[in-house]
Amino acid sequence: MERIVVVTGGSRGIGAATCRLAARRGYAVCVNYRANRDAADRVVADCRELGVRAFPVQADVASEADVVRLFETVDAELGVVTALVNNAGILETQMRVEAMDAARLQRVFAANVTGSFLCCREAVRRMSTRRGGSGGAIVNVSSVAARVGAPGEYVDYAAAKGAIDSLTLGLSKEVAEEGIRVNAVRPGFIYTEIHASGGEPGRVDRVKAGVPMKRGGQPDEVAAAIVWLLSEEASYATGTFIDLAGGR
């Protein structure tokens, strides 16, 4: 059976590294992105060069209509999804909780939490043996922030990732008998452009002295764990977490 993976936020950072590694392992790849078409096209080109089918789909995971269209497009272009990586995520400018307004909280929870729930829903509807599917695997991209809280920076983002951990635990049990494994990775400080959206592009270098391994991580080091959790080598792993945080 051909393996078909949907990677949300596959255009940049950890998602892009995941798309490229999945392609190397023979997956057909749907590279979802929100706005950066050029970046998505570059990832798609790299995947195709590896000899697999790949294509980009613009969809904002915070929008239910977009998520439905994303999975319908995958049905039509690639076939039934066998793997989902809920990687799309955002954070906003660093600030204390006392300064956060409801609009910000809604944006952060919509992209990080609602988006992952909706993508899980669409994947389960297609994968579940209870619904005639052939099973599959889901990996949610959480964060070490879920267990340390990101004080003074983005407690909202940390709380959203806490919700992703609960989603992983609950859904994994809900679908364990239906051929679907659900796991998560919790990256620490990884060199990507997400820190610029928090207002501090050089954040990883500022904080790396506090990491036991004394360095930030690379997107490829996270992608390796994600693709392993998707694979048959992880066939008895569900509802579990891999922290990729240099010992933090």
- Contacts with ligand NAP by CB under 6 A lie at 8-9, 11-15, 32-36, 39, 60-62, 87-90, 111, 115, 141, 143, 187, 189-190, 192-194
Nearer Cβ to ligand NAP, position 78 or 113?
113
CB of 204 to ligand NAP, least distance (A): 7
Contact predicate 227/183, CB 8 Å: no
Cα gap 17→35, rounded to integer Å: 18
Nearer Cβ to ligand NAP, position 74 or 128?
74
Strand order in the sheet with 54-58: 54-58, 28-33, 4-7, 83-86, 136-141, 180-187, 241-244
Cα gap 8→88, rounded to integer Å: 5
Nearer Cβ to ligand NAP, position 129 or 218?
218
**Residue 106 DSSP symbol:** H
What residue has token string 């990677």? Answer: 7
CB of 29 to ligand NAP, least distance (A): 13
What residue has token string 């994303």? Answer: 70
Nearer Cβ to ligand NAP, position 89 or 133?
89
> Among the options 27, 154, 157, 191, which is catalytic?
157
CB of 177 to ligand NAP, least distance (A): 28
Active site annotation includes 27: no
Give per-residue burial for 201-219: e unless 16+ CB within 10 Å, then b. Answer: eebbeebbeebeeeebbeb
CB of 1 to ligand NAP, least distance (A): 27
Query: Catalytic residue positions?
Result: 157
